[in-house]
Chains A and B, each alone.
Chain A
Amino acid sequence: MPHSVASGGSPASHKDEELLPDAPPTENTADASELNGEDNIAKKTAGVKLEDLFNDEDDDDNEFPASSAPTDVKMENTTAPAQPPVEVDTETMLAFYQRLFPFRYLFQWLNHGIVPSPDFGNREFALTLQNDAYLRYQSYTTADLFRKDILKMNPSRFEIGPVYNRNPRDRKTLGSGQLKPLSKELVFDIDLTDYDDIRSCCTKANICEKCWAFVTMAIKVVDAALREDFGFQHILWVYSGRRGAHAWVCDPRARNLPDDRRRAIAGYLDLIRGGTQSGKRVNLKRPLHPHMNRSLEILKPYFAQTTLIDQDTFQSSEQAQRLLSLLPDKGLNDSLRKKWDSAPNRSSTSKWADIDALAKTGKSSTLNTTSLRDAKQDIVLEYTYPRLDSEVSKKMIHLLKSPFVIHPGTGRVCVPIDIRNVENFDPLSTPTVSQLLSEIDAWDAEHPGGGTAEGPEGEGSVPDGSDARGSRRLQDYEKTSLKPYIDYFRSFIAGLLKEERTGKRERNDEPAEVKTESMEF
């Protein structure tokens, strides 16, 4: 194993340069890529780093553990500090990029093909470094260069911007207005903070299963509209790592939309307008637009479950007061208020039922049943309809956090959400980075010799998963609970690429011709 020199130096330098986490990985990856046995070394350095990190005090610095023996120890060490995943330190982050991050698939996703194209090369990435510096206009020609740079910079997260007409790195050499965004996925952002006034279980950055239901219903409504109304097919939903979800609409037609068309879609999907001061925030015309009708059908059961039972939204008297202010009939409101005042702890479900019950008794002579029904529909929508951050969707140049990066606050991986199974997605059981790393170690411990001798490594650098001997070497992510998510991502990309290939053949005719001509010069 050609590791002795290259990796032997690294633990020492790590200890010396705690403050400059960038430097050592650079050397390592550079060395690694020069050697053909890249795999072994990459694996070794990753292992070392883990150890370095978790047993500082008893690090002997004189030898490497044989991969099989000390993994148990390592595992215990890694799980212990991972319990409250508050901050992800630089070493863990680096190990994640090296061993788990699916650079290759991310590349294929954005490149829309295997051969590097401007779709990837002119794409802007923005990195947030460990010292919180923000680096915009980064771009990479290939997956390998992308991986190398991420390993070098070790960003705490990075975001994806649009494809430009030129390489965004050259922007300073271009005149003003020369660098223009050409395309980007149409994106949507749902964030639970926008639901703070109607969720009673948590506030701010905290979430629980109960309030995640708001995100689930939002995803269903938006997804249905995008597919059925706009005819988009390739929609990737991604957990944002803490309290929300992003959608990436990747159809070629969506990617090329200019800003005003994006604004039109955002407006189409946007319903709840007005700030805290605007009173009734949903005032729909009748008959309901088909999109609203469908959304209402999707949302009704959620209103009954989430709003009325789980959140028990109207339980407090202020919220009940607000509910009354949304109802149209004064006489009915008075009798409702009287009833609710006499039973202060009445649940939301009963209160909601009271509206119809009292309306039926006919106490209020002015009551108009149609307007009451409409108002009730408006209320259901106001309390359940998706609250999108529409600014994100309106501009092509808006940057959005990449899938599969780690949320620095929670340590959770921003995994894709399988839309076919969106109800069962539980944000609190998505893998955290430290959990994943210990899973690799646990797997390696259980399968001594199974792939470890050959040294599995970061996914991005393997040319192909299959081995010459026929027995496929497992990649690191396959040993962890990240596997289903990456598998889903792969199948998503496969679907996208299939459409791209048929679409591209027509478009590619002309550029090919140009290429041959330019040879004549």
Chain B
Amino acid sequence: MIRQEFQRVDPKRRAILSHKKKQFAAPAFKQQDYPHRLNFYETPPTAEITLEQFEQWAIDRLKILAEIEACSYRNKTPAETTAHITPLLQKFLPLSSNTSSRDGAEDPRLKNERQKDHYSHFILRLAFSATEDLRRRFARAETMLFRFRFQADDSRERRAFIDGLSLDWESVSDEERREVAEHLVAATPGLRRSDEETWYKVDWEKVPELIERRTVFLSRGKAYVPEREQLSMIIAEFTTRLERALELTSRALPRLDEDDRLSPILNHLSKNFGSAESVYSEGEGFVDGAPITASSIDPLSQHFPLCMRSLHMTLRKNNHLKHFGRLQYSLFLKGIGLSLEECILFWRQSFKGFTDDEFNSRYKYNIRHVYGDVGGDVNRRGRGYPPYSCQKILQDSNPGVGQTHGCPYRHFSVDNLIGLLQSTGVNDRDLLRGVREDVEKTRYHIACNRVFEYTHKAEIKKAKEDGSASEIDLDTIVHPNTYFKRSYLLKQVGKSQRNA
């Protein structure tokens, strides 16, 4: 076994010394110079830095990554993200191009910037390789950062950087290009003539994004990629390499346990990468004192956001919901505080036309699974999944034929959306026009919030006047359960005042 491990070491990294003598040898490291602004982070840093630098650099990079992730969770457009991130990058993690200095890559200022970028990346790798979840998020955020910088890079430098990577891309000969010219033009959007571009032939696995969007010509497992789509390939390459490296780092991590200088810093760092999903903490959607039972869902449904309201209406209409609809809705109901027993009762009553046996064998298990009552390992499943956030609903659901889950603002056609809004009593023309515009600009959460503000206009005003608004904070809603809670509380405020 041991020798097998030894065999697997990448020949380039294999120690030239016999491993018996290794511990007495002076470490020989490759000196890093940074010819390019961008970095694929292939070689780990080896020079010495102080502990303060270690921590400070890592924290600076972490700030950037956290902001990037937050932007993606708030569903910001690339342009908005750029505007948001650019000043932050300048402040915490500047990275200038060779042309910005007279001495080019030799300038010590550039060297320092690049060193910081390099080191901080590897420090965070250590901090975030521990769990699968952290690795995935780290790789995602780093990829976004890399993409961002790559796009902003000077085209000449970018080319030099890519040449330095030595990726094995086969270029397409003129002859072959002429043969498939027609297909190339048809498959690649925004292209008139195939001879405008240099084409590369790569395994399709390297360009999954292009495949998924069906924007590349594909033949016998090879994708014909125009040069300008390099980005997609480079990014995919970056992500795969990073994921593999993180996996390796995680295996090496236990050996770091004994180091009592770095471990606390690393632990601290990984905890600070607060999960953006945790915008919603458990029990947050619960409303104290609200009687939430199977029978109260119908009256309460007026407080539900449109996605849940639509599911509820479909359920009442068809006496059935498809799997993902049930999942999305059950999680939401769990989030507002409906107990497992009541939830099962609710679905039982809603699924008319099914016998108890059918219901129990087909649906009950899933409901219990949602509550973490069954399935998987008792110790690990916790209390089931958290209720879906808007982020999750917007990104992960893509309702197919006959399915009704997802976000109406995103997944319905505009006409059907307006129809649905009108059926819930929203008829104001200005408002509907606003919703239309938001949806066109893919600002779905803004549209949803707009509707919320309209339907709760009076209550919000009242709440602001009497100061109870501070209790019910009025940020943008990014979670269906927040929508419900706020709506419910606002109506209560209205009611209690009327009573008084």
A interface residues (Cβ-Cβ under 8 A, vs B): 132, 176-177, 193-197, 228-232, 253, 257, 260-261, 263-265, 267-268, 272-280, 285, 287-293, 387, 389-390, 510, 514, 517-518
Contact = CB atoms under 8 A, between A and B. Distances in A.
Contacts of A279: 412-413, 415-416
Contacts of A274: 399-400, 411, 413
Contact of B217 (A176, A261, A267, A290): A290
Nearest to B212: A267
A287 B132 contact: no
A277 B413 contact: yes
A387 B208 contact: no
A380 to B, nearest CB: 17
Interface stretch (B47-55, B151-159, B182-190): B182-190
Nearest to B191: A287
The 9 closest A-B CB pairs, nearest first, are A231-B221, A279-B413, A267-B212, A264-B208, A275-B399, A231-B220, A264-B212, A229-B218, A264-B211
A252 to B, nearest CB: 12
A228 B361 CA distance: 42
Contact of B187 (A230, A280, A290): A290
Given A177-B132, A289-B187, A514 B4 contact: yes
Contact of B401 (A132, A260, A287, A387): A387
Contacts of A230: 204, 218, 220-221
Nearest to B325: A275
B214 interface: yes
B422 interface: no
Contact of A197 (B186, B219, B401): B401
B398 interface: yes
Contacts of A263: 208, 212
Given A272-B401, A288-B186, 7 more contacts: A228-B219, A257-B205, A275-B399, A275-B405, A276-B402, A277-B416, A290-B186
Contacts of A176: 377, 380
Interface in B148-197: 183, 185-187, 189
A278 B209 contact: no
30 contacts: A176-B377, A194-B402, A196-B402, A230-B221, A231-B220, A264-B208, A264-B211, A264-B212, A267-B211, A267-B212, A268-B214, A272-B400, A275-B402, A276-B401, A277-B417, A278-B399, A278-B412, A279-B415, A279-B416, A287-B185, A287-B186, A288-B186, A289-B186, A289-B187, A289-B214, A290-B186, A290-B217, A292-B214, A514-B4, A518-B4
Contacts of B221: 229-232, 253
B233 to A, nearest CB: 13
B186 A261 contact: no
Nearest to B208: A264
Identify the interface centre among A197, A260, A275, A387: most chain B CB within 10 Å of its CB: A275
A194 B400 contact: yes
Contacts of B455: none
- Best-surrounded residue of A193, A261, A264, A518 (most CB of chain B within 10 A): A264
Contacts of A265: 211
Interface residues of B, number: 45
A101 B318 CA distance: 41
A267 B204 CA distance: 13
A206 B215 CA distance: 38
B392 to A, nearest CB: 16
Interface in B457-484: none
A275 B4 contact: no
Contacts of A197: 401-402
B404 interface: yes
A518 B209 CA distance: 43
B228 interface: no
Interface in B411-436: 411-413, 415-417, 420
Given A275-B406, A277-B408, A279-B416, A264 B209 contact: yes
B271 interface: no
Nearest to A285: B189
B3 interface: yes
Contacts of A292: 214
B402 A267 contact: no
Nearest to B217: A290
Contacts of B413: 274, 277-280
A449 to B, nearest CB: 48
B416 A278 contact: yes
B403 interface: yes
- Name which of A193, A265, A278, A514 has the most chain B CB atoms within 10 A of its CB: A278
Nearest to A176: B380
Contacts of A132: 361
A232 to B, nearest CB: 8
> Which has the most chain A C-beta neighbours within 10 Å: B1, B189, B401, B413?
B401
B213 A267 contact: yes
Contacts of B211: 264-265, 267-268
Contact of A275 (B1, B377, B401): B401
Contact of B403 (A268, A275, A288, A517): A275
Given A230-B204, A517-B3, A518-B1, A291 B420 contact: no
A275 B208 contact: no
A292 B212 CA distance: 14
A362 to B, nearest CB: 29
A291 B189 CA distance: 14
A325 to B, nearest CB: 9
Contacts of A287: 185-186
A232 B205 CA distance: 13
A460 to B, nearest CB: 31
Interface core residue of B189, B205, B403, B404 (most chain A CB under 10 Å): B205
Contacts of B212: 263-264, 267-268
B222 interface: yes
Nearest to B379: A176
Interface string B385-406: 0000000000000111111111
A287 B194 CA distance: 14
Contacts of A229: 218-221
A89 B398 CA distance: 40
A400 B413 CA distance: 33
A503 to B, nearest CB: 15
Nearest to A293: B186
Contacts of B398: 273
Nearest to A290: B183
Contacts of A261: 205, 208
Contacts of A177: 132
A268 B400 CA distance: 15
A231 B201 CA distance: 14
A103 B278 CA distance: 49
A194 B401 contact: yes
Interface in B115-150: 132
Contacts of B399: 274-275, 278
Contacts of B209: 264
Contacts of B401: 194-195, 197, 272, 275-276, 387
B220 A228 contact: yes
A497 to B, nearest CB: 21
Nearest to A171: B377
Contacts of B417: 277
A186 to B, nearest CB: 12
Contacts of A260: 208
B43 to A, nearest CB: 25
Interface string B206-245: 0011011111011111100000000000000000000000
A244 B314 CA distance: 27
Contacts of B406: 275
Contact of A273 (B132, B187, B400): B400
A261 B212 CA distance: 9
B400 A275 contact: yes
A277 B418 CA distance: 11
Nearest to B210: A264
A100 B7 CA distance: 47
Nearest to B416: A277
A261 B401 CA distance: 23
